[in-house]
C-alpha cells in the first residue's frame, strides 16, 4: 500500500507539472498573440494615413482630369490653370501598405490568433485587399501610362518650370496646339479612361479605409478581452 501510494504521488506530481507547463505555454502564446495584434494594429493605423494621402492626391488629379475634359468639351479659351492640369493628368500613384507585423505573424504561425473571425479578417485585408490595391490597380494604370498616355503626352505637350514665392520649383506643361485638342478624340478617350480608373481607385480606397477601421476596432476588443 505504501509503494502504491508513492506511485500515485509520483504520477500526480508528473500530471501537475505537465499541467503547469501547459498553463505557462498558453500564457506565453497569449503574450505573443497580444504582441502580434498590437504590431498589426500599429501597421493598420499607419496604412490609414498612407491611404488617406493617396486618396487626397488621387482626388486632386481627378479634378485636373475633369477640368481638362470640361474645357475641351465646351471649347473654352486657354487658362493658365490648365498648365498645372496638363502636367499631372497622366500621373499614377503607387501605394505600398506597411505589412511588417503581418509578415512577422505569418513567420510565427497565423494560428497564434485564436479568434477565428479576427484571424480571417486580418488575412483578408493583408492578403486580398492590399494585393488588389497594389497589384491590379497599379498594373492597370501603369500600363495605361507607359503604353498610351505618356507616349501621347510627350508628342503633344512641352514641360516648363517656374518657381513660387518660396523659391520652390513647380513643374507645368503646355500643349503645342491647344485648340487642336477640341476635336482630338484620342486625347479625350485617354482622359476618360484615366478618369474611370481614378474613380475606381478612389472608391476602393474609401472602402478599404472603412474596412481597416473596423478591423482595428475588432483588434481593440480582442486586446481588452
pLDDT in tens, 25-44: 566 767 888 999 999 999 99
- The predicted-structure confidence for 169-183, as pLDDT tens digits, reads as follows 889 999 999 999 999
- Dmax of the chain from CA atoms? 109
DSSP letter string, 113-158 = ---HHHHHHHHIIIIIIHHIIIIIIHHHHHHHIIIIIHHHHHHHEE
Please state whether the predicted TM-score (pTM) of the whole model is above 0.85. Answer: no
Dihedral of alpha carbons 191, 196, 199, 204, sign: negative
Region 198-225: mean pLDDT is 94
User: What local confidence, expressed as pLDDT, does residue 143 receive?
Assistant: 84
Higher pLDDT, 137 or 38: 38
Report the distance separating Cα 207 and Cα 133, nearest Å: 11
Is the pLDDT assigned to residue 120 strictly greater than 70?
A: yes
Is the pLDDT assigned to residue 23 strictly greater than 60?
A: no
What is the chain's mean pLDDT, rounded?
88
Is the pLDDT assigned to residue 166 strictly greater than 90?
A: no
Contact present, 208 and 198 (Cβ < 8 Å)? no
Region 186-212: mean pLDDT is 94
Region 76-95: mean pLDDT is 93
Amino acid at each position: 500500500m505504501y509503494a502504491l501510494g508513492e506511485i500515485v504521488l509520483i504520477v500526480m506530481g508528473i500530471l501537475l507539472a505537465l499541467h503547469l507547463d501547459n498553463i505557462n505555454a498558453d500564457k506565453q502564446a497569449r503574450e505573443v498573440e497580444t504582441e502580434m495584434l498590437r504590431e498589426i494594429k500599429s501597421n493598420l493605423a499607419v496604412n490609414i494615413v498612407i491611404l488617406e494621402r493617396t486618396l487626397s492626391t488621387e482626388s486632386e488629379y481627378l479634378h485636373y482630369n475633369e477640368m481638362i475634359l470640361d474645357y475641351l468639351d465646351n471649347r473654352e479659351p486657354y487658362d493658365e490653370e490648365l498648365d498645372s492640369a496638363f502636367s499631372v493628368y497622366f500621373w499614377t500613384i503607387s501605394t505600398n501598405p506597411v505589412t511588417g507585423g503581418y509578415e512577422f505573424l505569418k513567420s510565427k504561425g497565423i494560428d497564434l490568433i485564436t479568434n477565428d473571425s479576427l484571424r480571417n479578417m486580418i488575412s483578408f485585408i493583408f492578403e486580398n485587399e492590399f494585393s488588389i490595391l497594389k497589384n491590379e490597380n497599379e498594373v492597370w494604370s501603369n500600363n495605361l501610362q507607359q503604353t498610351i498616355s505618356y507616349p501621347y503626352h510627350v508628342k503633344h505637350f512641352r514641360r516648363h518650370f517656374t518657381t513660387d514665392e518660396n523659391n520652390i520649383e513647380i513643374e507645368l506643361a503646355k500643349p503645342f496646339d491647344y485648340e487642336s485638342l477640341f476635336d482630338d478624340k484620342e486625347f479625350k478617350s485617354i482622359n476618360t479612361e484615366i478618369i474611370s480608373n481614378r474613380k475606381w481607385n478612389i472608391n476602393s480606397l474609401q472602402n478599404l479605409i472603412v474596412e481597416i477601421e473596423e478591423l482595428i476596432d475588432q483588434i481593440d476588443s480582442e486586446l481588452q478581452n
